Amino acid sequence: MKEFKAERIEGLMPSGIRMITRMCDEAGGINLGQGVCDEPTPKEIKDSAIQAIRSDKNVYSKYEGIDELREKIAVKMKDYNKIKCNPDTDITVNVGSTGGYVAACFSFINPGDEVIMFEPFYGYHLNILHLCKAKIKYARLSAPGWYFDFDEFKKLITNKTKAIILNTPTNPTGKVFSREELTFIADICQKDGILVISDEMYEYILYDKNEHISIGSLPGMDDFTITISGFSKSYNVTGWRLGYTVAKKKFTEKIGILSDLFYICAATPLQHAMIASFNLPDSYYSELRASYTKKLDLIFPALQNAGFKVHRPQGAYYLLADVSSMGLNGKTDASKKLLDLTGIGAVPGESFYENPEDGKNQLRFCFSKEYDVVEEACRNLQKLKIH
């Protein structure tokens, strides 16, 4: 019998995150695995969605998205990201930021092109590059501070390097790239003609005094950057699938062609709904940070007290902890053991490394859950002390 399978999906596996969700559900555990925000969507946005549906905003929009939304995004990009862009030529609204990332990668990465990713990485970034048949090189972010070595990074660059994938604030480490690090990367890009695809999904979720800097705002970088962001995490609408790319016309034209082919457009009524997000007061963002900080202040010491080595994240809502204190013996998968001992689901560190061995002592904990759930998880973590 003939096997029906495209070569390009060879080796792709369902994400470890889905597996944990299933295991955790079966065990009736607390799922700190998947990065889903449990908190409600702001009322203004929900009302605006209902209004859009009631007024029959039902048909396909332009593939680059409705004009009003792109105009709002352009203002936000100027004010928050310090990137000037033309809403008519430089923005594509997409099916989640993931839709934008897929369209960007397929527009600019040829088979055999070298692409540099920071490791530990976000698995979707990697697998989509595999679909493009890119040759991937890894720049290690090292615990505890998740810094990278500038000299080692330079050694990864060759005349085949096409792009660097950046994610700040970062999933899974919570790193926020500093101005010094971004300037270093920007200088290389401009000197060697390398594109940066910068995923800034968690741009509003920051701790302590950390500041979000968009690499596209650095001098000269508008010719080398595709900035990607979205609404999923900032407004608790992961299931609405709305995001966008911002890049100069020469890039956006190509991204638009593929977005049209792949998706036609993002959901029209939800594009209308999302205009309301731009009318939220500044206090919305300070409250978002305060609410995540409160959860972080609960879970961070709880993980330390459980005997794990963990670095306080600077942004996003993940902690990547070294859990070797649980007495793993190579045969015991860390997440299964944690689920058995505490009823908590966390993602195996192996999902974030090219060589799974490098992450076998790590677990990623996501704390984008309601406060009570994080509290309960922290109580359960105390059970580890008796083992």
Q: Quote the least distance from Cβ 21 to ligand PLP, whole Å.
A: 13
Q: Would you say 164 or 201 has its CB closer to ligand PLP?
A: 201
CB 384 within 8 A of CB 52: no
Q: Quote the least distance from Cβ 175 to ligand PLP, whole Å.
A: 12
Q: Would you say 29 or 33 has its CB closer to ligand PLP?
A: 33
Q: Would you say 122 or 308 has its CB closer to ligand PLP?
A: 122
Residue of this chain nearest to ligand PLP (CB atom): 96
Q: What angle do CA 374, 375, 377 make, to 5 degrees?
A: 65
Q: Which alpha helices (DSSP H) does 157-281 contain, by range?
A: 179-192, 249-263, 268-274
Q: Would you say 200 or 222 has its CB closer to ligand PLP?
A: 200
Q: Quote the least distance from Cβ 165 to ligand PLP, whole Å.
A: 10
CB 116 within 8 A of CB 154: no
CB 93 within 8 A of CB 277: no
Radius of gyration of the chain (CA): 21
Q: Hey, is 245 helix, strand or coil?
A: strand
Q: Are strands 91-94 and 114-119 parallel, antiparallel or unpaired?
A: unpaired
* Contact positions vs ligand PLP (CB under 6 A): 35, 96-98, 122, 167, 171, 199, 201, 230, 232, 238, 243
Q: Quote the least distance from Cβ 15 to ligand PLP, whole Å.
A: 10
CB 248 within 8 A of CB 224: no
Q: Quote the least distance from Cβ 315 to ligand PLP, whole Å.
A: 11
Task: Give residue 192's region: left, alpha or beta (phi > 0; psi -120 to 50).
Answer: alpha
d(CA 333, CA 325) in angstroms, rounded, equals 13
Q: Would you say 335 or 342 has its CB closer to ligand PLP?
A: 335
Q: Quote the least distance from Cβ 33 to ligand PLP, whole Å.
A: 11
CB 175 within 8 A of CB 146: yes
Q: Quote the least distance from Cβ 37 to ligand PLP, whole Å.
A: 10
Q: In the beta sheet, which residues pair with residue 164?
A: 116, 196
Tokens of 33: 């695995």
Q: Would you say 122 or 342 has its CB closer to ligand PLP?
A: 122
Q: In the beta sheet, which residues pair with residue 229?
A: 244
Beta strands in 161-232 (DSSP E): 161-167, 195-199, 225-230
Q: Would you say 37 or 302 has its CB closer to ligand PLP?
A: 37
Q: Quote the least distance from Cβ 344 to ligand PLP, whole Å.
A: 19
Q: Would you say 101 or 108 has its CB closer to ligand PLP?
A: 101
